[in-house]
Structures are given as C-alpha cells and as structure tokens.
Chains A and B, each alone.
Chain A
Amino acid sequence: MSEELAIEASGLVKSYRGVRVLAGVDLRVPRGSVFALLGPNGAGKTTTVRILSTLALADGGQARVAGCDVVRDRREVRRRISLTGQFAALDDVATGEENLRMMGRLSGLSRVAARQRAADLLGQFELTEAGRRRVGTYSGGMRRRLDLAASLVGRPSVIFLDEPSTGLDPPSRQRLWQVIADLAASGVTVFLTTQYLEEADRLAGRIAVLDAGRLVAEGTAAELKQRVAARRLDLTCPDAMAFAEVSRHFGERAVHLDPAGLTVGVATDGSTAQVRALLDEADPGRCLIADFAVRGATLDDVFLTLTGHTQEAAHV
C-alpha cells in the first residue's frame, strides 16, 4: 500500500438488519487532495464515512486511512483523522470557547495549550467574538464553522466532512466552502460527502458517485462531465401541448425534461449545423419552440446519465 494515499479502501461491504447498504466500495484518495463522495440520500455515504473513520465496522473489505488499518490500528487512525457529522457535535449550553477547550483537553493538550489552541481556531474561523457566547445562540453557519473548528483541535491529517453544508442558507454555504478550500490549501486531505453536485464540483479535485451502495463513476468533475454529451440544447415550448409533442418526439433522446419550465433538453455538440438541424427536426412547423439555449453539461446531467434517475427521483 502506498503512503501517497491518504485513504485506500477495497471491497467495503456493509448491511444493517439484512439490508445491504454498501455492496463493494473501492476508494483511492491521494494525500492532500479534496475528494467528494456524491450521492442521493440513502446511497451509503454516511456508512462509508463511519467505516473509514473507525466508528462502524465493515462486514467485509479493507480500508487504510492515514497509513493505518481502520480495524487493527483504530486508535492510531483516530489520532490522525477528524469527523464532522451531520449533527453538530457541540454542547449548546457551553460557549464556543469552552467547547473547543474541552476538545483540546480530550485530545491530550495541557490546560494552557488547550486555551491557546481554542483562541487560535476561533480567530481562524472568524468566531473570536462569538466564542464567549453559548453555542445555542449561534446561527446555523456559525455552528457548522465551530463544529469544523472543534474537529481540527487535534491537528488531523485527514478530515471527514459528512454533508457539511446541508441545511445552510446560500451565504453561509459560500462561507463554509471558503473555509474548506482554505483547509485543503493547508495540505490536509479532505473527504466529503454531499448530495449537492454544485458542492462537489466547486470543492473536490476528484468525485466518486455512489448510488445504492455502489460506485457508479469516479473522476474529476471535467472527466465526469465528458461522460455525457459535452453540451445540451434546451428547447423551451410556449405551452403544455407543444411541450408534450416535443418531448414525445425526442422520447428516449431527451436528457432533460422540465414540465414546469416547459423545457426539453437534448444532447448536442453545440455546432450551428447540429443545433439548426435539431430545431428543424423538433419543430418543422415553426410553432412549437419559443426559445432555445445551448449550455454545458452539468453534474446533474452526469448524475442522471450514470444512475438512470435524477437526484430528486432518488429521494422518493
């Protein structure tokens, strides 16, 4: 096993009460990179993180994190990693500073060192003022930042973030993304799970797509986007009847259907000749299409192509 890899897993299998959650997951995450595990609710993202962070045992397969086996060298792994879960691991009635100091003491720092580390982290995460207030009074974004700060007290080399921005408003999300990007720039390895394609695209160097306990694709955001047609032609219809006709015409070829927006998307290379041909083909009588746009494929398109269902469909 190479020391260049921060995370290396092969054949991870896990069932809960007879239900298979992971059906053989392999992962290789280079040291110092940001890796995103992308998938809908129930795909097995949290289970993967819990196994890699030693909090759950896999039924089968092996994993090494930060150079140590997650089962045999559990203690050593725990010393080298941190986990920020979906629920903030903080005491609401304690102040931000007290929370960080407690984590410092539990990571083996002396009283003085814990105090210093707490002050440093509060400064780094722009929480110095808030540090004196009880966590119960914090906004969602501040809690998430403090939670992240608390996970860094022990100076981990691999950081697991389980759905870090779920439930945050857009400005808080932007701010958290900046914090994560700064962390990555400092050289630690970041492994994050997300349901947001945009989040994976924005933060991660490499992305693995997890669906129903299986990896269905892995690569850089650009590589994944290339697996579907590079461009998409979106045709917007003037009314529901026209929409029905256009979508019926393209049938299986439609890669995007938006009944509310009366829009049908089809793959294209984006050339004038092909766009013109598609328009003529879809609307020979020149009355079914009011508007069109050519856009780059998004990770949403990738997701649909890879899993056969949209993120929303997977939620139901």
Chain B
Amino acid sequence: MSDALTMAGRSLRLSARSPEALLTALFLPVMLMVVFVYLFGGAVDIGTKYVDYVVPGVLLLCAVTGAATTAVTVCQDLTGGIIDRFRSLGVPGTTVLAGHVTASLLRNVISTALVTAVAFGIGFRPHSSVAAFAAALGVLLLFVAAVSWLAAAFGLLVSAPEAANSAMFVLMFLSYASSAFVPIRTMPWWLRGFARNQPATPVTETIRGLLLHQPADVRLWSALAWCLGIMAVSVASCSLLYRRRTA
C-alpha cells in the first residue's frame, strides 16, 4: 500500500512537471469547447441551448485526452531503465501502472473543474441536484479510470512513446463519432448504428441527463457496463502485456 502511494506520488510529479502534457490535458478541452460553442454552435440547431448540450461532450473529450497521456508515460517507463529498478525493488507491475492511473484521475479532476468553470463563464447552466452532480462526476471518473487503464495497456503494447501518443487521436476520433457534440440523428445512416452503440455515447448521455435533469437521457447501466467492461479487459491485458514485456 505504501508502495502504491509512492508510485502515485511519482506519477503526479511526472505530470506536474511535464508542461506539454499538462497543456494538452488542461487547455485543449477548453479551446475545443470555445471552438464548438462559438464557431460550430451557431450552425447546430438542437432545440435547446447548444452550450448546455455540448459541455458534457467536452467533459468526455477532456477525459479522453487526459487519460490517453497515460499511454505515453507507461511507454516511457518501459523503454527506459527505471522499470528494471522497480522490479528489482520488488514493486509489482500493476502498482507502477496503478500509480499512473491515479495520477490520470487527479489530472482529470483538475481539468474537469477548469472546463466546468469556463463553461459557466460562457453560459452553461445545469439544472441538477447535488446528488445528480456527484453521480455525473462519479460516472465521468469511472470513465477516466477505464480509459486510463486502456491507454496503459496501449502503452505496454507499443515500443515507442511517439507511437503511444497516437492513442489520443484514435480515442478522440471515437468520441467525435458519438452524441458528444452533435445529435446522432444528424449523422449519415451508416454511422448512426456505430455512434449509438459505442461507449462514448451512453457515457456522455448519462452525464448530460444527470446535469441537465433529463432523466429520459440517462443510460446509467449501459455507461457503467461499458466502463467496468473496458476496465476489466484493460487491467487483464495490462498484466499479460507487462509480463510479456519484462520476460
């Protein structure tokens, strides 16, 4: 347990001291929100205020970009010599990875707070109880944890940190092809099936439903099932890949 805390502290220090990663995690989502609300938002007619519609989507995108950097840090650890030192100190691989995931969660708490604050500044007005707000945050963080483990597995799979960086683009594209930014009914027919049934959609709609008090939109079980499913598969893959990489 003390090892886990030490590793989490280390990962946090790494995040806090790499300005590029921090900028990506904090400012990319804010910039995207501004772009969507002021540039694209005027052209999107969804019947309600677009800023209210899009903020949950931006929070999701923010989670994805923040969590994806886990792939890079994990890959860096494995390409350098430090993983051997950790192993020779008897630190299990899962503890090292859990440290990175913990740091990813804390990074995302900060970026979520920042995005939410800016969102309020540009007119976002949620209508929800404290309990619903907490539930939305809970779902979001569970999603962050799932994507972080997925990114960690990707970081173990690829051999260079540059390649690990591509995890972010794949995941970002996946979140665009969901109801995060535009309603699915506006998409071409061949994309709708995918967009409706991929994890980003139920997670966004659950967060949106909870924040805007639209219980009909909440797809809580689907969102939870996706998050827990991704997490279980990713953690299992991580321990498999870690063993393979360090054999």
Contact between A151 and B85 (Cβ–Cβ < 8 Å)?
A: yes
B162 at the interface (CB under 8 A from A): no
Q: Quick one: closest A residue to B6, CB to CB?
A: A105
Q: Which chain A residues lie closer than 8 Å to B6 at the CB level?
A: 102, 105-106
Q: Taking each of B2, B85, B86, which has the highest tally of chain A beta carbons within 10 Å of its own beta carbon?
A: B85
Once the chains are docked, how many angstroms separate the CA of A226 from the CA of B123? 86
Tell me the bound Cα distance from A83 to B90 in angstroms. 13
Q: Are B88 and A81 in contact (CB under 8 A)?
A: yes
A73 to chain B, nearest CB (A): 12
- Residues of B within 8 Å of A88, CB to CB, are 80-81
Evaluate contact between A154 and B81: CB separation under 8 angstroms: no
User: Counting CB contacts under 8 A, is A107 at the interface?
Assistant: yes
Number of interface residues of B (CB under 8 A): 22
**CB nearest to B17 among chain A residues:** A93
In the complex, which range does the number of interface residues on chain A fall in? Answer: 20 to 34
Please determine whether A55 and B84 come into contact, CB atoms closer than 8 angstroms.
yes
Complex Cα–Cα for A135 and B18 (A)? 14
A98 in contact with B13 given A82-B88, A103-B85, A106-B6 (CB within 8 Å): yes
CA distance A86 to B79 in the complex (A): 12
A42-90: which have CB < 8 Å to B?
53-57, 75, 78-79, 81-83, 85-90
Which A residues touch B247, using CB under 8 A? 56-57
B91 within 8 A of A: yes
Q: Chain A residues with Cβ under 8 A from B88's Cβ?
A: 53-55, 78, 81-83
CB distance from B172 to the nearest CB of A (A): 25
Q: Does A281 contact B (CB under 8 A)?
A: no
Q: Provide a sorted-by-A list of 23 A–B residue pairs whose CB atoms are within 8 angstroms.
A: A54-B88, A55-B88, A55-B246, A82-B88, A88-B80, A88-B81, A89-B81, A89-B84, A89-B85, A90-B82, A91-B10, A91-B13, A91-B14, A93-B17, A98-B13, A102-B6, A102-B9, A105-B6, A106-B3, A106-B6, A106-B89, A107-B89, A154-B89
